[in-house]
Amino acid sequence: MKRFALAGNPNCGKTTLFNSLTGSTAHVGNWPGVTVDKRDGVYKKCAEPVAIIDLPGIYSLSPYTPEEVIARNYILDEKPDCVINIVDATNLERNLYLTTQILEMDVPMVIALNMMDAVERQGDKIDAKELEKRLGIPVVKISALKEQGLQELMDKAFNESKKERRGSTVLKDTPIAHLIGDVRIALSGQNVGNPLFHAIKLVEGDEIEVEMHKETLPMVEEFKSTFNDEIFGTDFEALVADGRYKYISKYFAPVLTRKSKEKFAATRSDRADKVLTNRWAGIPIFLVILFLIFHLTFSENFLFISTFANWAKSPLPTLEELGLLTAEGEPINYGVRWLATIYDGTIYSPGVIVNNIWNDMIVGELFGWIQGLIEGSGMAAWAVGLLNNGIIEGLGAVLSFLPPILTLFLFFSILEDSGYMARIAFILDRMFRRFGLSGRSFLPMIMGFGCSVPAMINTRTLADEKERTATVRVIPFFSCGAKLPILTAVAGAIILQFAGGSGNADLITYAMYLLGIIVAIVCVLLMRATTLKGETPPFIMELPAYHAPQFKNLMAHLWDKTKHFIKKAFTIILASTILIWVLTHFGFDWRFLEDEQINDSILAGLSRLVQPLFTPLGFGSQLGEYGWVFVLAAVAGLIAKENVISTFATLGACLIAAGVLPGFNADAIYADDTGIQAVVAMIAATNITVPGLISFIAFNMTTIPCFAAVGTAKSELGERKRFNWTLVFWIAVSYTVGAIVYTIGAWWWTLFIWAAAAAAVTCFIVFYNKGKIKLKFPKRAK
């Protein structure tokens, strides 16, 4: 099958084109070597099916950012049959800069001139025929969004792929043309592929090329030493870049005729930007948007309508007051069940409504039906237990987190697609620089609130290796959607058990989110001052024009996400759920145990073994006989954070069967979606204190994330050593944070000890960095 690679600037509509071309055949995989999301799919409407490969969005083929190196290596090493270079017609000059570089490679190529509709809307014109003549390769006008011109583009590309193309350069009028020519001939003589491209990069002094062609280097240096430009001196990189842009301005830019003579005319996007990044309003607007996102996703008090109703002394009636519930508190009919997903004395936010419909009306209904079938099937007791309590309950718990994750992801996709995300980075850069990061690292961090996996993949937009490492490490502290149920369940249980049911559980949840952010900031500061020292990375970033997010793209994003999550739910999480059920229902002698014999189970034994380690964190030895449930849940959480609460539910049912928890009902625990009852059961079994519980959630928030995230971190960090240290870092941070939270919560005066310790560490680092203190490390014998 022929392979066509899509190359272009970020934001040129590449993803849209890719989605339009490949439709449902697209799938996401990993690049060999450096792992970056690779997407490929199949286009079926050509003479024969063609594989479409989506390269990362890039501005240049410089050796400085990982995406650029990936795109460059793909074209050079994998030799696609044709490169489709997407050019954003609204931003012709800069887009063609990349084109001039790809032109230098010996690969068939066509230009897809995208966003022509936007150009024409402004009343401007682009002479595509003229551009085609001047570039010497086919140029096709397309609209990726409206799917116009795609067939013509693909036919042209298919046609080109049958021909051979030699690289050509726009640098032939520059003073270094003969130098490039000579190096090219020398490289051709050595049978190097793509001689023109390599020759130009060598002349530029490109780090990767210099490494690759050591034997040719002396020759290049000799040529270079005789050369001295009057403007650029011997700065060849500058000379080449300038040569490209000069050529573009002179020969390519004139194909564009602008209607308005005004060079910097204000567009609608500019007017929106005036407000959104306004000197005074910019930051408040950002905070309101952030609040709205979380409000729309999680609030059970939509737009505070019921609060206003209470103020107006006319509170909204609950379903019970309306007489719509039976004596048992169940809805009286099917219609009311639907109503209950939207309203019960308060109106729920859209995110909560979706969540309710999914959990109550779809998953709950389906799984209840399956469980009924299994119970009626006459299987052995242990098989029914494994299927119903182990697998189906576990899966149900996992699937119940899908709605909030997707809702959050939808909002972040809208921010990203609309162009506002880049402005957030712009607004916040100043603040982030203080921590040694750029405003750009904000994007992946805030994505961490949705899910760490896409967030970590997103860090590859950060050019600086150290900034990237620091960002990947702290992303899990931005509590992800799967950790939220741990927070809400434990917070709800604390209010119910220790505050008599009155109090604001949300406050605890928010406080934990805040704690995560503070821990992240402290850790970044610490790393940038010690192990990851370095210059603050540059912040030279395009601010794309605002545009309405495209429904099709959003849905494609969400579908990717859903597929990924469901796959995870049915593989790793399902496996771990089964494992936990087996470990809790078999003893060390591999004898099947009834629920009430859980104390003899393998997992109980293992957890008891490590339980003392968690004593400083408040959920270790002080909790007595059943204290290991917290250790076990934390361990299960390492496999997937969703497991923490579902483990509580399983254990709760086991302990009830064992007669440990009189007055508790296993069915009630399973029926409780919030997980609060499961935590309440754990509290009753262990007498854990509030500081212990808070420490437990703090520990879970900051410790090693789920396997999916760990795997992503491993591939994004690249080096094995760096990844191992990241694991150590996560364990150390979570242990410290848990210990701090517990000790201060239990004995407030320990605050002074921790403060003194923090001050001592800070002083030490400051003085050490100033060279006032020197550490003598014993030198290792070689």
Partner 1 sequence: MQKTLDKFVIGESGVVKSVGGEGKIKRRLFDMGITPGAEILLRKRAPLGDPLEITVRGYELSLRITEAQCVVLEVRDETTAGEAKQ
Pick the binder of partner 1 from 287, 305, 431, 753 (CB under 8 A). Answer: 431
Quick note: the x/- pattern for partner 1 over 609-628, rule CB under 8 A, is --------------------
Pick the binder of partner 1 from 192, 238, 525, 574 (CB under 8 A). Answer: 238
CA distance 185 to 193: 12
Map tokens 């509709």 to a residue. 117
Contact status: 307 vs partner 1 (CB under 8 A): no
Nearer to partner 1, 390 or 439 (CB): 439
List binders of partner 1 among 510-569 (CB under 8 A): 538-545
List binders of partner 1 among 333-362 (CB under 8 A): none
Pick the binder of partner 1 from 2, 246, 337, 564 (CB under 8 A). Answer: 246
Query: Minimum distance between the CB of residue 444 and partner 1, rounded to whole angstroms?
Result: 18
Query: Minimum distance between the CB of residue 536 and partner 1, rounded to whole angstroms?
Result: 8
Query: Minimum distance between the CB of residue 684 and partner 1, rounded to whole angstroms?
Result: 50
CB–CB of 383/428 below 8 Å?
A: no
List binders of partner 1 among 266-305 (CB under 8 A): 273, 277-280, 282-283
Contact status: 229 vs partner 1 (CB under 8 A): no
Strands of 234-363, DSSP E: 256-257
Contact status: 430 vs partner 1 (CB under 8 A): yes
Angle among Cα 160, 165, 171 to the nearest 5 degrees reads 125
Contact status: 429 vs partner 1 (CB under 8 A): yes
Contact status: 13 vs partner 1 (CB under 8 A): no
Query: Minimum distance between the CB of residue 213 and partner 1, rounded to whole angstroms?
Result: 19
List binders of partner 1 among 126-165 (CB under 8 A): none
Contact status: 690 vs partner 1 (CB under 8 A): no
Contact status: 777 vs partner 1 (CB under 8 A): no
SS (H, E, C) 391-431: HHHHHHHHHCCHHHHHHHHHHHHHHHHHCHHHHHHHHHHHH
Contact status: 245 vs partner 1 (CB under 8 A): yes
CB–CB of 486/474 below 8 Å?
A: no
Piece in contact with partner 1 (CB under 8 A), picked from 157-165, 326-334, 431-439, 663-671:
431-439
CA distance 664 to 626: 16
DSSP 705: -
> Which among 46, 57, 71 is positioned nearest to 153, based on CA atoms?
46
**Sign of the torsion formed by the C-alpha atoms of 728, 730, 733 and 734:** negative
Pick the binder of partner 1 from 23, 33, 93, 121 (CB under 8 A). Answer: 93
Quick note: the x/- pattern for partner 1 over 454-493, rule CB under 8 A, is ---------x------------------------------
Contact status: 725 vs partner 1 (CB under 8 A): no
Nearer to partner 1, 448 or 537 (CB): 537
DSSP 261: -
Pick the binder of partner 1 from 5, 12, 53, 92 (CB under 8 A). Answer: 92
Contact status: 231 vs partner 1 (CB under 8 A): yes
CA distance 397 to 154: 46
Secondary structure of residue 182 in the 3-state scheme: helix
CA distance 739 to 530: 23
Which amino acid, one-letter code, is at 698?
A
Size of the site for partner 1 (CB under 8 A): 44
Residue 7 phi, psi (nearest 5): -130, 145
Nearer to partner 1, 256 or 322 (CB): 256
CA distance 623 to 257: 77
Which residues fall within 8 angstroms of residue 652, CB to CB, at 6 or more apart? 661, 664, 666, 669, 677, 678, 681, 682
CA distance 628 to 620: 7
Contact status: 367 vs partner 1 (CB under 8 A): no
CB–CB of 281/275 below 8 Å?
A: yes
Angle among Cα 364, 367, 371 to the nearest 5 degrees reads 130
> Which among 124, 385, 129 is positioned nearest to 257, based on CA atoms?
124
Contact status: 35 vs partner 1 (CB under 8 A): no
Pick the binder of partner 1 from 1, 226, 261, 264 (CB under 8 A). Answer: 264
Pick the binder of partner 1 from 4, 74, 97, 197 (CB under 8 A). Answer: 97
Query: Minimum distance between the CB of residue 429 and partner 1, rounded to whole angstroms?
Result: 5
Query: Minimum distance between the CB of residue 533 and partner 1, rounded to whole angstroms?
Result: 17
Pick the binder of partner 1 from 242, 360, 506, 596 (CB under 8 A). Answer: 242
| Parallel/antiparallel/unpaired status of strands 109-114 and 37-43 | unpaired
Piece in contact with partner 1 (CB under 8 A), picked from 156-164, 218-226, 430-438, 641-649:
430-438
Query: Minimum distance between the CB of residue 113 and partner 1, rounded to whole angstroms?
Result: 15
Contact status: 208 vs partner 1 (CB under 8 A): no
Contact status: 249 vs partner 1 (CB under 8 A): yes
Output 147-153 pairs: Cβ under 8 A, ≥24 positions apart: 147/20, 149/112, 150/17, 150/20, 150/21, 151/45, 153/84, 153/110, 153/112
Nearer to partner 1, 252 or 411 (CB): 252
List binders of partner 1 among 98-127 (CB under 8 A): none
Contact status: 172 vs partner 1 (CB under 8 A): no
Nearer to partner 1, 161 or 277 (CB): 277
Which amino acid, one-letter code, is at 22?
T
Quick note: the x/- pattern for partner 1 over 389-428, rule CB under 8 A, is ---------------------------------x---xx-
Query: Minimum distance between the CB of residue 421 and partner 1, rounded to whole angstroms?
Result: 13
Q: Would you call 189 exposed, middle or buried from its count of C-beta atoms within 10 A (0-12, 13-18, 19+)?
A: exposed
Map tokens 């086919």 to a residue. 138
CB–CB of 644/652 below 8 Å?
A: no
**Sign of the torsion formed by the C-alpha atoms of 406, 386, 710 and 78:** negative
Pick the binder of partner 1 from 25, 38, 73, 91 (CB under 8 A). Answer: 91
Piece in contact with partner 1 (CB under 8 A), picked from 238-246, 360-368, 654-662, 665-673:
238-246
Contact status: 261 vs partner 1 (CB under 8 A): no
Q: Would you call 225 exposed, middle or buried from its count of C-beta atoms within 10 A (0-12, 13-18, 19+)?
A: exposed
| Encoded tokens for 52 | 């479409």
CB–CB of 688/682 below 8 Å?
A: yes
Secondary structure of residue 120 in the 3-state scheme: helix
CB contact burial 655-665 (16+ within 10 A = b; e otherwise): bbebebbeebe
Nearer to partner 1, 357 or 541 (CB): 541
CB–CB of 696/630 below 8 Å?
A: yes
Piece in contact with partner 1 (CB under 8 A), picked from 71-79, 87-95, 408-416, 526-534:
87-95
Contact status: 227 vs partner 1 (CB under 8 A): no
What are residue 7's DSSP bridge partners? 85
Pick the binder of partner 1 from 8, 41, 351, 439 (CB under 8 A). Answer: 439
Residues in the site for partner 1, rule: CB under 8 A?
Answer: 59-60, 62, 64, 90-94, 97, 231, 237-238, 241-242, 245-246, 249, 263-264, 273, 277-280, 282-283, 422, 426-427, 429-431, 433, 439, 463, 538-545
